[in-house]
Chains A and B, each alone.
Chain A
Amino acid sequence: AQSVTQPDIHITVSEGASLELRCNYSYGATPYLFWYVQSPGQGLQLLLKYFSGDTLVQGIKGFEAEFKRSQSSFNLRKPSVHWSDAAEYFCAVGARQAGTALIFGKGTTLSVSS
């Protein structure tokens, strides 16, 4: 069955510290991979995506993610967290076909302490 696992429900990081949010997926073929962020009262904003090529992808707001096929992982990283990064982060996968569903993980809530 297709699924996305985000093992960490809640993470607290000190401002300025590095961040890594984990994402593992189970999918029949190599999917397209996404990270979305949701701030309170807001919709889901795309941080970055992986389709093919370089397995390290850069996104907005200083985020990056690395696709590791052997581990079926797509972990999100940021070298220095800012208080404004506090939000909920969702990993998602989608088929390589237009107009199809995204499958989301349960999300990781990031809190940033000062």
Chain B
Amino acid sequence: EPEVTQTPSHQVTQMGQEVILRCVPISNHLYFYWYRQILGQKVEFLVSFYNNEISEKSEIFDDQFSVERPDGSNFTLKIRSTKLEDSAMYFCASSEIADPYEQYFGPGTRLTVT
């Protein structure tokens, strides 16, 4: 069964550094999403992406964050100048045109900022 994959599974970085989290959505999906879950808190939406543009973004998704689809298979989340409070599990999701409301989630990348 096709699945969303994410790399790395765990990333440790120092405060102020830039990180790039990578996702490979399901191959025929065209809607892409990033969510995050701070430990002990709810899963929060960051951004959605369609047709090479941001469709929707939350208040969390400020200038520190950016997304890109650098090629036909990858979808990335870049976090510039990381802060301690960016430590969280980051989930990528994707959905297809035929059923855009059903989002398929990846296993997540745990980001630890020290």
- Using CB atoms and an 8 Å cutoff, list the residues of chain A in contact with chain B: 32, 36, 41-46, 49, 51, 90, 92, 94, 96, 98-107
Q: How far is the CA of A106 from the CA of B100 in the complex (A)?
A: 24
Q: How far is the CA of A42 from the CA of B105 in the complex (A)?
A: 9
Query: With contacts A98-B50, A99-B50, A104-B42 known, what are 12 further pairs, Cβ within 8 A?
Result: A42-B107, A45-B105, A46-B102, A46-B103, A51-B101, A92-B43, A94-B101, A98-B31, A100-B55, A101-B45, A101-B56, A103-B45
| Chain A residues positioned under 8 Å from B48 (CB to CB) | 99-101
| Chain A residues positioned under 8 Å from B106 (CB to CB) | 43
> Which chain A residue lies CB-closest to B9?
A41
Q: How far is the CA of A94 from the CA of B101 in the complex (A)?
A: 8
B58 in contact (CB, < 8 A): yes
A-B contacts, 28 of them at CB < 8 A, read A42-B107, A43-B107, A44-B43, A44-B91, A44-B105, A45-B105, A46-B102, A46-B104, A49-B102, A51-B101, A90-B43, A92-B43, A98-B31, A98-B95, A98-B100, A100-B55, A101-B45, A101-B48, A101-B56, A101-B58, A102-B43, A102-B45, A102-B103, A103-B45, A104-B42, A104-B43, A105-B42, A106-B42
Number of B residues, CB within 8 Å of A: 26
Q: Interface majority SS on B: helix, strand, loop or mixed?
A: strand
CB distance from B90 to the nearest CB of A (A): 11
| Chain B residues positioned under 8 Å from A104 (CB to CB) | 35, 42-44
Q: How far is the CA of A46 from the CA of B102 in the complex (A)?
A: 8
| Chain A residues positioned under 8 Å from B33 (CB to CB) | 101
Q: Would you call B108 and A99 a contact (CB within 8 A)?
A: no
| Chain A residues positioned under 8 Å from B31 (CB to CB) | 98-99
Q: Would you call A32 and B42 a contact (CB within 8 A)?
A: no
* Known contacts A99-B31, A100-B56; is-contact A49 B41 (Cβ 8 Å): no
| Chain A residues positioned under 8 Å from B102 (CB to CB) | 46, 49
The listed residue with most B CB atoms (<10 A of its CB), out of A44, A49, A96, is: A44
| Chain B residues positioned under 8 Å from A90 (CB to CB) | 42-43
Q: How far is the CA of A22 from the CA of B4 in the complex (A)?
A: 28
| Chain B residues positioned under 8 Å from A32 (CB to CB) | 101
